[in-house]
Amino acid sequence: MPTITIIETGVISLPNRALHGSFPQMFERLLGEADPSASFVTVRLADGEALPDPAGLEAILLTGSPAGVYDDLDWIAPLERFVRAAYEAKIPMAGICFGHQLIAQALGGTVRKSEKGWGIGRHVYDVVPGNGVIDGEKIAIAASHQDQVIAPPTGATTIFRSEFTPHAGLLYANGTAMSVQPHPEFTVPFAHVCCDKAGQNSAPEALVATAKASLDQPLDNAGLGRAIARFLARPHKA
């Protein structure tokens, strides 16, 4: 398994970090369970750490963030350049939630706040047959987002979808980058935290209650975690 460089694009509050871990810690747990040989390096981009040269990396993962990819933040344009350089060099790369949207936007797709509103709680997605990344017919994962990929980049393939999120998972044209909208790294308790947070940020009370109740049903985190780990372990094609 290659060393996975985690680009931390969002910082969890100290109280929640103490209870649930940081985004990189969540991914280390998820991907470490999928492949115990995995090793990790974190770049704390949201805290001001500089991005490395992607050509020297073995595998890359972009985390979620409370930021929007269209926000006027000084680290977003450099991150888009980093993604394009990694893609050009064919470094295996995955993005989750904000990372999903950032990769799509960097490679020419369209991202915006969806008129459908908040996507929170357990979401069930239809897996596109023969997608080459994810097995099975359906997958259930916790979500927490308002923004969506509205139009994927040219050549990208949707690998799973729902009526609420038509492009919930993408495989990009050169085959070395993938991204997903939901959060396989979330524990159920942290998914509840995110539902409450959405309620503090305009999500209707009834939606929050329904979303929290949905988390009583099983999630397919481990299966999606294994799929991401397999993808990041694919041989470098450059």
At 191, is the secondary structure helix, strand, or coil?
helix
97 is catalytic: yes
**Considering only CA atoms, which of 86, 26, 23 is closest in space to residue 54?**
86
Helices (H), 70-180: 76-88, 98-106
Please say whether the beta carbons of 9 and 80 come within 8 A: no
Active-site pick, 97, 100, 123, 167: 97
Token pair, residue 234, equals 């694919």
**What six digits make up the tokens of 161?**
């979808």
CA distance from start to end of the chain: 17
Separation of alpha carbons 189 and 179, rounded Å: 24
Q: Which residue has the tokens 């680290």?
A: 75
Q: Is 194 a catalytic residue?
A: no
Active site includes 137? no
Cα–Cα dist 211/216, whole Å: 10
What string of H, E and C letters represents the secondary structure of 44-92?
Answer: CHHHCCCCCCHHHCCEEEECCCCCCCCCCCCCHHHHHHHHHHHHHCCCC
Which member of 28, 167, 185, 194 is catalytic?
185
Out of 20, 183, 192, 195, which one is annotated catalytic?
183
Q: Catalytic residue positions?
A: 97, 183, 185
